Structure 1
């Protein structure tokens, strides 16, 4: 039986693989990680609400890293069937920010959650 954690990891991997297939130039050496919750010490520039993800830019020879926070994401969806869409949108948003492109470049079906 697959755990909730493993199922969430699979959703992240699926989203990344879909984007990699669409982007001819690839996504570079950006790393992805999943953590249960964000650290309790948010950075000064983060909003007051609990973050769903965080982009750590490349520095000192280390690749950029995108971290998704599983529990805050799971609690934001009303219907568990919507979890895959939310994970995909978060991956698209963060990857677009890391690559300096518009999210629709990576996923033509992307729709900004803040605009809905």
Structure 2
């Protein structure tokens, strides 16, 4: 194969490789969107299961629906009321989901 024949061959390989990579990248984006939707559905299902089994969800304890639980709202759940001060990392009187998750993770270790 001569040097003159190689340049078009390399160009052809680059074009074909690029064309084949595009569907793969599109598939990755679709997979990520599907995985996120599945996680959201699992969270909703878990909340519904907890509520149906007599458990409480974050939304059911968060009476004012501001996304965080105040000390007064925590009284609706005896276990949460007991650990509220320890779990409220920034000591602002409101417990966010992130603060609670962090507290729960530390307790499991």
Could you state the TM-score of these two structures normalised by the residue count of structure 1?
0.24
Structure of higher RCO (CA pairs closer than 8 Å, 6+ residues apart): 1
- 1 or 2, which has the higher helix percentage? 2
Richer in strand (by share)? 1
Larger Rg: 2
